[in-house]
Amino acid sequence: MTREGNPWWTPWRVVDDVTVLHVDLMPNTEREAHALSLLDETETGRYHRFLSVRAKREFALCRGALRLSLAERLGCDCRQIAFACLEHGKPYAIVAGQTVDTAFNVSHSGLHGLIAITDRDCVGVDIEERAARRDLDGIGSFVYGQEELRLLRAAPDREKAQIFYRLWSMKEALIKALGTGFSLSPSEFEIPEPVLLGAPSCVFRFPHLPSESWRLLDMGERRFAAALAYRLSPPEPAQKPAAGR
């Protein structure tokens, strides 16, 4: 199925050469069955191991949309695509035994998913529905740095969730772009001050990788907090291992 056949994802943003798709994760039995039919044996096994209906739906609809979008971009059948993972679980694609140059990243949260796709080497995306939670200051003390915490604690109650999830999505987009996931503690780096104070984007450097620069963008909107990060320079030695290793 190409995009014409009633897709559940739509182009949402284009930033530089990164395309971001929005995936509709509303419960829909027909779409979920269709998405599931596109997955390979490993993915189908994973789908059945998820315990919650929500986790099953998020995975199937996002992975199905990813397969079809990548296939369209690469000019192949979506069933020719295989996925493998880097050390900390970041997926990459393989077609006909070759690691594909196109990078992508997926995030899902409740009713919304995002997929970022680019020919750059590293991209990370994160989406967070702003779920009501108690004690955001307390949770923040585990994951935020000094300046970030100061901002969160000073915020009036009505603005706390907005700030908490904005910061959270940016930090997670960065660790997903880098590929480490939470093996790099989000409290080990801080969002630069201009963005902390509301600017929509900046150039970012991880303290432990000062020679690399990353573009960080706040993409939040009314329905959710969201952020995108991608490497500007310089490409490190190839991150993706050769297929089959």
Choose one: 28-36, 86-94, 202-210, 215-223; the region binding ligand COA (CB under 6 A).
Answer: 86-94
C-alpha distances in Å from residue 232, one per residue of 115, 149, 182, 215: 19, 28, 22, 6
| Closer residue to ligand COA (CB): 60 or 151 | 60
Beta carbon nearer to ligand COA, 126 or 148:
126
Does 91 contact ligand COA by CB under 6 A?
yes
Q: Smallest distance, Å, CB 92 to ligand COA? A: 10
Number of H helices, E strands in the chain: 7, 11
CB of 63 to ligand COA, least distance (A): 6
Position 171, amino acid: K
Contact between 120 and 103 (Cβ < 8 Å): yes
Binds ligand COA (CB under 6 A): choice among 9, 47, 59, 168: 59
Min separation Cβ 86 and ligand COA, Å: 7
Site for ligand COA in 200-239 (CB under 6 A): none
Query: Which amino acid is residue 216, in one-letter code?
Result: L
Q: Residue 9: which of 107, 130, 131 has the closest Cα?
A: 107
What would the x/- binding string for ligand COA be over residues 92 to 131, using CB under 6 A? -------------xxxx---------------x-x-----
Q: What sign for the dihedral angle of Cα 10, 70, 224, 209?
A: negative
Scanning 39-94, the segments in alpha helix (DSSP H) are 41-49, 53-74
Per CB under 6 A, residues contacting ligand COA are: 59, 62-63, 85, 88-91, 105-108, 124, 126, 172, 175-176, 179, 181-183
